[in-house]
Structure 1
Amino acid sequence: MTTPLNTIKQHNNPLHGITLEAIITYLVDYYGWELLAKEIPINCFSHEPSIKSSLKFLRKTPWARDKVEKLYLTSIKTS
Structure 2
Amino acid sequence: MSNEQPNNPLHGVKLADILEYLVEYYGWETLGEKIKINSFNSNPSIKSSLKFLRKTPWAREKVEKLYLKTKKIS
Residue-pair matches, total: 74
Cα deviation digits, residues 49-79 of structure 1 (max 9, x gap)? 0000010000000000000000000000001
2:52 paired residue number? 57
Q: List alignment gaps of at least 5 residues for structure 2.
A: none
Highest RCO, 1 vs 2 (Cα 8 Å, sep ≥ 6): 2
Larger Rg: 1
Residue identity over aligned pairs, in percent, reads 66
1:48 paired residue number? 43
TM-score w.r.t. length of structure 1: 0.89
The structure carrying a bigger helix percent of its residues is 1
Q: List alignment gaps of at least 5 residues for structure 1.
A: none
RMSD value over aligned CA atoms? 1.1
Distance in 1 (alpha carbons) for counterparts of 2:15 and 2:43: 19
Question: Any runs of at least 4 consecutive aligned residues in structure 1 with deviations exceeding 3 A, and if so which?
Answer: none
TM-score w.r.t. length of structure 2: 0.95
1:11 Cα deviation (Å)? 1.3
